[in-house]
């Protein structure tokens, strides 16, 4: 999960510097040239920082941050897909001879948007823990853990008839009860 969140954040960052709008060499507009590209860049940079902290600190979890950055990247991609298609349709109707009859509006969408979309999907899946190899377990409180240990000791206590081991278990049980207080 931690490596996927780093890779996905890097994909989103790289996608900001790639073309979002392009038509051959005539029209090229990179994501960083737009305010929404800068917004994605900031969100991806923050999620990359959080992913690196997660990599170095086992207790750090920033899943919510990953989900928010992924949703932001996905929304920006959806908006820009629509915006680029709309602009391309208007442009091809206005000046059809410049782009030819075979030009579709999807030809204007640059590969940077696809890279950001891929990074957003990976970051979202990382945020919902889809790549975890261990099942999510319920976190037990201190009292639950101590009660479980005491029950285990009581079941062992019933099986042991030797007085020496029995006294050790009684002392251990008293220590556990004292830890609760």
Q: What is the pLDDT of residues 61-91, one digit of tens each?
A: 778 888 888 999 999 988 988 887 787 777 7
Question: Is the residue at 137 inside a domain?
Answer: no
Number of domains in the chain: 2
Q: What is the pLDDT of residues 153-180, one digit of tens each?
A: 666 555 555 555 566 666 666 667 766 6
The domain containing residue 167 runs over which residues? 142-180
Question: Is the residue at 97 inside a domain?
Answer: yes
Question: Is the residue at 136 inside a domain?
Answer: no
Whether 107 shows a pLDDT value over 80: the answer reads: no
Does 70 lie in the same domain as 21? yes
Does 119 lie in the same domain as 44? yes
3-state secondary structure the chain: CHHHHHHHHHHHHHHHCCEEEEECCCEEEEHHHCHHHHHHHHHHHHHHHHHHHHHHCCCCCCHHHHHHHHHHHHHHHHHHHHHHHHHHHHHHHHCHHHHCCCCCHHHHECHHHHHHHHHHHHHHHHHCCCCCCCCCCCCCCHHHHHHHHHHHHHHHHHHCCCHHHHHHHHHHHHHHHHHHC
Does 99 lie in the same domain as 71? yes
Question: Is the residue at 10 inside a domain?
Answer: yes
Whether 139 shows a pLDDT value over 60: the answer reads: no
What's the whole-model pTM score? 0.64
Does 147 lie in the same domain as 123? no
Res 106: pLDDT:
63
Question: Is the residue at 31 inside a domain?
Answer: yes
């Amino acid at each position: 999960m931690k490596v996927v969140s780093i890779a996905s954040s890097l994909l989103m960052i790289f996608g900001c510097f790639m073309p979002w709008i392009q038509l051959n060499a005539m029209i090229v507009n990179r994501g960083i040239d737009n305010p929404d590209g800068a917004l994605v860049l900031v969100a991806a940079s923050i999620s990359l920082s959080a992913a690196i902290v997660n990599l170095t600190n086992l207790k750090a979890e920033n899943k919510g941050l990953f989900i928010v950055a992924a949703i932001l990247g996905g929304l920006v991609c959806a908006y820009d897909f629509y915006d680029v298609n709309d602009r391309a349709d208007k442009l091809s109707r206005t000046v059809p001879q410049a782009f030819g009859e075979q030009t579709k509006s999807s030809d204007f969408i640059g590969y940077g948007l696809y890279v950001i979309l891929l990074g957003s999907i990976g970051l979202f899946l990382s945020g919902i823990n889809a790549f975890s190899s261990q099942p999510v377990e319920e976190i037990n409180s201190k009292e639950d853990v101590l009660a479980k240990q005491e029950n285990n000791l009581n079941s062992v206590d019933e099986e042991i008839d030797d007085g020496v081991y029995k006294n050790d278990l009684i002392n251990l049980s008293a220590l556990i009860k004292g830890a609760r207080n």
